Structure 1
Amino acid sequence: MPDVQVVVAHRARATLRVGDVFLKVDPDRAGIDAEVAAMAAVAVPTPRVLWRRHPVLAIERVPGAALGTFGQPSPVGPASWVAAGAAVRSVHRTPLPGRAATAPVDGLARRLEEACAWFLAHDVVPADVVRRNRELALVALRPRTTCFTHGDLQPDHVFVEHDVVTGVIDWSGAGAGDPLLDLAVLTLGHPEHLDHVVDGYGGDVDRDVVRAWWAFRCLTAVPWLAEHGFGPPGDYPETAVLLAAAG
């Protein structure tokens, strides 16, 4: 009989693994609905839905290995990252329910200011590190047209085998968004593969905006992780990225 493994667990949701089945426990019905709808809509491989009974969604394991884990070297080569870039382009071509619109930045700006205030109140990094990364992050908050995005495209959500994408998982954040944020989240912990991802993605990608999203992502992620019990914020790889960007 297979063991029950806790993949991730915090106050918002939990994911368990039993053999080749993953059980996602999420009290937010809208999030589960969005995840199932997104997996049905995109033209990339996704986990097969086995059953759902609120608040649990059961999905099948996808084959292959993850592109990487934030804070650790990637176990796959450049060709797999190129393939991931092409898969992201396919996701972004998924039609939105309505016409694409220019996304407001007010809410994002508030999140950024609240995160910076949290850093200063908790003395996680020096104030000049917060200031420098805030300046970088503001570059991402420009008017832009939204498209269908994954919403949380971490490298351990993309699986590959023989340089082919075999599955993209965790679609609860899917919906209208900035395509460059998907590229930023994918490459945040592996900047050496940004060019490979862009090669696969194609088109004109503003790398400065991608780097700006790196700063925004780290600034806003650290308070959330700390408040959800992920350990001392000084130990997070996101904090290391902030320090390096301000160096």
Structure 2
Amino acid sequence: MADVAEIEVVVAHNERATLRVGDVFLKIDTDQKRTDVEVEAMAMAPIPTPEVLWRKAPVLALAALPGTALGRLGEPSTASPAAWAAAGAAIRMLHDAPLPPWPGQRLEEIASRLDGECEWLITNGVLPTELVTHNRRVAEAALRPWTPAFTHGDLQIAHVFADGDEITGVIDWSEAGQGDALYDLATLTLGHEDHLDDVVAGYGSDVDLEVIRAWWSLRSLLVVRWLVEHGFDPSSPGCEVDVLRSRL
């Protein structure tokens, strides 16, 4: 039997796991509908995405992208301003592309989830009431009608890869669908506000900075419980709780 490279656990929780074996990523997902979305979205996206090597439920095998991620939440990014601007330009290409045939979350669903998460955070003493209520007010600016765009849906900084100043690809498309373009921009710059101007410069016009900042608060409020319940720490320096505190 041929030797294989060391297995690296990239991420793992009770819904999904991603392993790296050499230049191959193995994504294991309990919900094959998410994998269906990922494969179809990558085929439709007008920007670089990982090559699908094979699929045998519940595993999806993808080729590694060249380059490195723009950064990590909670850590300073070493990527150049030009790379951040290139990310903005790539996102604009995605948002200008034809819509995928499946819908995204409705505004009413997001507002209902936000109310429920805020109540849980306060009732269980996870975050101070003042912090939650203030960010809930900030988040209101994001809860407005938007023109649907082809959105990635989970465009974390770690999901965008660059080689020098060039974007080499975007990974993790399982949340892609029709959504608010500014949500993608907010997700990319969450915890990296110092690079927002670079991203907007590459993206172009039609950017409401108040709405992006509102999405920072809204996304952070929505994910704290999930992160805690899946073994992650949203209170780590520079992460979601710090993002909420920065809004005060």
Pick the TM interval, shorter chain: over 0.9
Instruction: Indicate yes or no: 2:99 matched with 1:96.
Output: yes
Aligned to 2:12: 9
Query: Aligned AA for 2:33?
Result: A
Q: How far apart are 1:235 and its partner, in Å?
A: 3.4
Q: Which residue matches 2:62?
A: 59
Cα-Cα RMSD: 1.7
CA distance in 2, matches of 1:114, 1:174: 23
Partner-residue secondary structure (3-state), 2:142: coil
- Tell me, yes or no, if the aligned pair for 2:87 and 2:167 is still in contact at 8 Å: yes
* Paired amino acid for 1:42: A
How does the TM-score come out when normalised to structure 2? 0.94
Residue correspondence of structure 1 range 186-201 to structure 2 within 5 A: 186-201=188-203
**CA offsets, 1:171-223, max 9 Å, x none?**
11111110000000000111001111011001120000000000001000101
Contact 1:146–1:178 (Cα < 8 Å) also in 2: yes
Q: CA deviation at 1:99?
A: 10
User: Which of the numbers 182, 202, 206 marks the counterpart of 2:204?
Assistant: 202
- Shifted more, 211-220 versus 28-37: the winner is 28-37
C-alpha separation between the residues in 1 aligned to 2:241 and 2:100? 37
- Decide whether aligned partners of structure 1 residues 70 and 87 sit closer, same or farther in structure 2, where only a CA change above 3 A counts: same
CA 1:100–1:109: 2 relative to 1, 3 Å: closer
Asked whether 1:138 is paired with 2:140, we answer: yes
Question: Which one of the candidate residues 234, 238, 241 is aligned to 1:239?
Answer: 241
Give deviations 1:88-123, integer Å, cap 9, x for gaps: 00111221145999x742111111111111110222
Percent identical pairs in the alignment equals 55
Q: By how many angstroms is 1:74 displaced?
A: 0.2
Residues in 1 aligned to 2:100 and 2:222: alpha-carbon distance in whole angstroms = 28
State the Cα deviation string for residues 40-95 of structure 1 (Å, max 9, x = none): 11111110110000100000000001111001000111000000000000111221
CA contact (8 A) 2:102 2:178 kept: no
**Distance of 2:32 and 2:20 partners within structure 1:** 20
Alignment correspondent of 2:73: 70
Partner of 1:48: 51
CA distance in 1, matches of 2:160, 2:241: 23
5 Å-filtered alignment, 1:213-228, equals 213-228=215-230
Tell me which stretches of 4 or more aligned residues in structure 1 moved more than 6 Å: none
What is the match of residue 30 of structure 1? 33
Secondary structure of the corresponding residue to residue 148 of structure 1: strand
> What is the distance in 1 between the residues matched to 2:127 and 2:245?
8
1:162 Cα deviation from its structure 2 partner: 2.0
Q: Residue 219 of structure 1 aligns to a residue in which SS?
A: helix
Match of residue 126 from structure 1: 128
Q: Structure 2: which 5+ residue stretches go unaligned?
A: none
Q: Which letter does structure 1 place at the counterpart of 2:236?
A: D
Q: 1:100 to 1:121 in 2, by over 3 A?
A: closer
Paired residue type of 1:244:
S
Which runs of no fewer than 5 residues in structure 1 stay unpaired?
A: none
- State the number of aligned residues: 244
CA–CA separation in structure 2 for the residues paired with 1:100 and 1:221: 21
What is the alpha-carbon distance in structure 2 between the residues aligned to residue 28 and residue 100 of structure 1? 18
Distance in 2, Cα, partners of 1:234 & 1:124: 10
Return the match for 2:186 from 184, 187, 194: 184
CA distance in 1, matches of 2:124, 2:32: 34
Secondary structure at the counterpart of residue 135 of structure 1 = helix
Retained in 2: the 8 A contact 1:124–1:234?
Answer: no
